[in-house]
Every structure is written in structure tokens, then in C-alpha cells.
Structure 1
Amino acid sequence: MEYKYENLLVEVENKIALVTLNRPQALNALNKGLLDDLSIFLTDADYDSDIRVVILTGAGEKAFVAGADIKEFANFDGKEGQQLAASGQENVFNKIEDFPKPIIAAVNGFALGGGLELAMASHFRIASSNAKLGLPEVTLGLIPGYGGTQRLPKLIGKGRAMQAIMTADMFSATRALEIGLVNEVVEQADLINRAKEIATKITNNSSVAIKHAIRAINASDKETGFEIEIESFGNLFEEHDFKEGTTAFVEKRKPNFK
């Protein structure tokens, strides 16, 4: 099968699909086009017997994904905000988490906001030594809307997740490894080769057993938290802080939250 997309580069070799999020001019920020391409790829790859493992990474050396494309939703109201979160989770983030073939996030550089949420939805993560990971949504008057409030506590613990989300601080690659946010840290030049090493080991095992393992492991995580996150995310679009936070971002100034 041939894979051609506007915002993704896909190379399939030895049963491994290397998927590069390809908007380097915008530090691979998640816009509607990129999310749509990812959703289509996942649907196609599910049925492609030539793909047993997927590696997700970002184009360039600076960023995996630097966040969502804020200009696309800065003028949304609450209903549109809820729809943004719900459709993103259903069509991409939950689709990644529930994908029957392993998805490895190879985090090169910044993974912020929706970028970290994309990495957390993947089945596990390895990072380059220059990676920076965080959820800065509160600086925009928002909360994470693509599963971040649910997945981060499960990976690093409730207290650390609370602090990270409230402060909007970034984790270094070393700290991310210490707290279990990533599985391994390697030099950037070695990142894709290491991801392929792990993927090759996985392709040698039973794909049917792995599919069931993914389903069983994920079954322990299903709660109502995602619904609450979507509702809260949408409600915040009606607040002054969201308007101020996004306006300040676009104007490249510090927000003045009352």
C-alpha cells in the first residue's frame, strides 16, 4: 500500500512503519490537516499486513510536536471547544491508544501540549536527550483536551501530574525518564535506530497475542475522566482567561490573568 499525505511522511520497511509528523516550519504543531492525516493513516495501517509496528516521530531536530495550532481554535466558543476535544480524542488519540499494533513515540525535541498528549497516547515512549516534555495549557486559560489529564497521572502519579499541569513546567528528558514518562533516553542521532531495534524485537513476537495484550492492558484504564476532561475543556472556551491567554500567545506577550 502507498501512503501519501500532505502532513505526514510514511516509510514502511521490515514490517515497521516510520511515520514522521511533517510540519517542521510550525514545529510540527497539530492542526486539523495533520490530525486528519493521522486518522486516515491509522485506519489504513490497521488493515495493512505489511505493518506490524508503528514509530511516530517529528520532522526536524527541534520538535516532536510543539503543541496544537492555537490560531485554529482561538475564536471557538464552548460548544466548538468540546467538539474539538471530543473529535480529536475519538479520531486520533484514543485511536492510537487502542490501535491493535504497537505504536512507539520517538520523541525528538519538544513534546508540548497536544504533542505530549500524542506521545502519551502511544503505547510507550523513547526520547532524545534534548527532549522537553510538558502540558502548558493553563498558560492559555485551558486544560489539556486530548487526554492529558487522564494519561499523565497514570504514567507519573497524581501528585506529579497535578504539579506539572498547574505550573506548566517542562520535564527534561532525564527527569522524564526518572519519573516513568519515557522508557529510555538516547542521543538524538540514535533515536530512530533505537526505536527500530525495539520495533524489530516486537515484530518477532505473535501479533495476535500483542493485539490482545494491548486490549487487556488498556481495559484497566477506562473511566469517565475523559468525558469530564472534554466537558471542562469546552467550558473554558467561554471564559475570559481563554480569550486573554490565546490572544497573548498570538501577540507574543505574557497573559494578564485577572
Structure 2
Amino acid sequence: MDAYVKSNIENNIATIEFFHPEQNSLPGNILAQLAETITKTGNDDNVKVIILKSGGDRTFCAGASFKELININDAATGKVFFSGFAKVINAMRKCPKFIIGRIQGKTVGGGVGIAASTDYCFATKFAAIKLSELNVGIGPFVVSPAIERKMGVSAMSQIAIDANTFYEAEWARSKGLFAEVSESIEEMDSKVEAFAKHLCTYNPEAMTEMKKIFWKGTDDWDHLLAERAAISGRLVLSDFTKKTLEKFK
């Protein structure tokens, strides 16, 4: 199947789904589509709540596209590349509707940042998380503000430093990333559907005002995440990272 971003609205619930055949890794064009779709959907008066999910039943998101990462040859291109996740996170932050995350399986790097940017997140027991960026000579600079906001500095720094380890879904739940962990995708989907329907019974204006409070103190993230993207864009050109990426060619 080809990569896609698609959305549909039913009974005031919008479902946004992204997919990429390489374990739902996200190249720049898909990230741009995802950010645009989140913004457009959030401004739709027919939508009261948004469910964010990925296609397939194994991996939620493998992070950034390695094919694009390997081909970066200058700092400007690097900044643009890493700004892709920044735009998605900022679109989620500014979205006036609650975003429910549906994390069916493992998630890595930028995918953890997306999960952390949801307002309420469901997962299965298979949804282990890993921040692997240090392995290739960079760091989770763009996504770390979102992860730190949700999980705290201690948990974020632990998984950022321990870049080879997948942390189990229950650990992520204990640190605040996931609200609930289910035994199966079917169980999770039932909970997501029921929760979204229940949110639709609440006052939309109240939910919008609550979201503003939840994200208080992040007004500088347009600038902050752009700065972080520039750091990653510079480090990806380092001798260490270039040598490491050669192994993946």
C-alpha cells in the first residue's frame, strides 16, 4: 500500500489516520499532510473530538524516514527535515479540540512525540516506546518538549539516554504518557470509541478552554521547536552521524 493521510467525520468524531509501508515511518510530505489535516479538522465546526491513529496492527510509528535522513547534505535541508515533526506537534498543540491517541504497537522517536502531544492516549500492551536518536548521533531535540511536558524531565531523559531500550507500555502509562493500556487492539478500540462518544456529550466551549489551560506555557513552541530542528539539522551533518548512517545505506 502507498503512504497516506486520511480523515473522516462521523457523529461529530473525526478520525485522522496516517500510514507508511515502512512501519509507519514519516517522510516530510506525510508529516506536512498530517499537520495540515489536524489544523483543518480542528477548525471544523462539525467536529467535537479527534481520534489520531495509524494504519496497520503492529507499529504505531517508526519515527522519521531514514531514507530522507540519509540524504541530508546541508544544514538548511536538515532543519526543514526535522521541522516536519515540529509542525505536527504544534498543530496538535494549537488544535482547539481534544485529540485522543490510539497507539496499537511500538513507537519510536518522533512517534513518541506525537503520542505525547495527544490530550488523552490509549494504548495496547504491545505499545513499547523508544527514543533511538542518540544511536545515530543526534537527539530527540524536537520532540523532547512534548515528551517532557507529558512524562516529566526524569522519564524523558531516561529514555533519551538509554537509546537502545524499548520501554514497556505499562512503564509509559506509569509515567503519564498513556492513560490506559489494553490487552488487545479490539479492547482498546472499544474504549476509544466509547470515550470519544462520551466527550461529545460535553460542552465544546468548555473543552476548548480546558485545552488552552492544559497547554499553558507553550506559546513559544513555534520558535523553540524551530531552534531544536536546527540543532538536529546541524548534528546530522557531523562526522559521527554520517559514518553511522552509512551503515544503513
| Shared fold per TM-score greater than 0.5 | yes
Q: Which residue of 2 aligns with 1:120?
A: 116
- Tell me whether 1:51 sits opposite 2:47 in the alignment: yes
Q: 1:15 to 1:30 in 2, by over 3 A?
A: same
Q: Which residue of 2 aligns with 1:21?
A: 18
Q: Which residue of 2 aligns with 1:255?
A: none
Segment of structure 1 superposing worse, 223-232 or 76-85: 223-232
Superposed displacement of residue 227, structure 1: 4.8
Segment of structure 1 superposing worse, 179-188 or 153-162: 153-162
1:93 & 1:195 partners in 2: Cα distance?
21
1:87 & 1:26 partners in 2: Cα distance?
17
The equivalences for 1:223-234 within 5 A come to 225-234=224-233
3-state SS of paired residue (1:111): strand
What per-residue deviation string (whole Å, max 9, x for no partner) do you get for residues 13-65 of structure 1? 11111222122x21111112321221231233133222211111111111111
Match of 1:137 among 116, 119, 133: 133
Percent identity among equivalent residues?
Answer: 22
3-state SS of paired residue (1:26): coil
3-state SS of paired residue (1:244): helix
2:149 & 2:40 partners in 1: Cα distance?
29
Q: Give me the CA root mean square deviation.
A: 2.0
Q: Which residue of 1 aligns with 2:89?
A: 93
Preserved CA contact (<8 Å) 1:130 1:188: no
What per-residue deviation string (whole Å, max 9, x for no partner) do you get for residues 162-194 of structure 1? 121011122111111112121110122222221
Superposed displacement of residue 228, structure 1: 4.4
TM-score, structure 2 length as denominator? 0.89
Could you tell me which runs of 5 or more consecutive residues in structure 1 were left unpaired when the two chains were aligned.
252-258
Preserved CA contact (<8 Å) 1:66 1:111: yes
The equivalences for 1:31-42 within 5 A come to 31-42=27-38
Preserved CA contact (<8 Å) 2:53 2:102: yes
Match of 1:157 among 152, 165, 188: 152
TM-score, structure 1 length as denominator? 0.86
1:181 & 1:89 partners in 2: Cα distance?
18
Count residues with an aligned counterpart. Answer: 243
1:47 & 1:150 partners in 2: Cα distance?
24
Q: Which residue of 2 aligns with 1:71?
A: 67
2:161 & 2:149 partners in 1: Cα distance?
17
2:104 & 2:215 partners in 1: Cα distance?
25
Segment of structure 1 superposing worse, 99-108 or 158-167: 158-167
Regions of 4+ moved over 3 Å: 221-228
- Tell me whether 1:170 sits opposite 2:166 in the alignment: yes
Preserved CA contact (<8 Å) 1:66 1:113: yes
2:26 & 2:64 partners in 1: Cα distance?
4
Superposed displacement of residue 144, structure 1: 1.7
3-state SS of paired residue (2:70): coil
Preserved CA contact (<8 Å) 1:141 1:244: no
Match of 1:111 among 107, 111, 114: 107
Superposed displacement of residue 10, structure 1: 2.3
Match of 1:208 among 191, 195, 205: 205
Preserved CA contact (<8 Å) 1:149 1:229: no
Q: Which residue of 1 aligns with 2:80?
A: 83
The one-letter code matched in structure 2 to 1:15 is N
What per-residue deviation string (whole Å, max 9, x for no partner) do you get for residues 235-258 of structure 1? 20221122123222x24xxxxxxx
Match of 1:195 among 183, 192, 196: 192
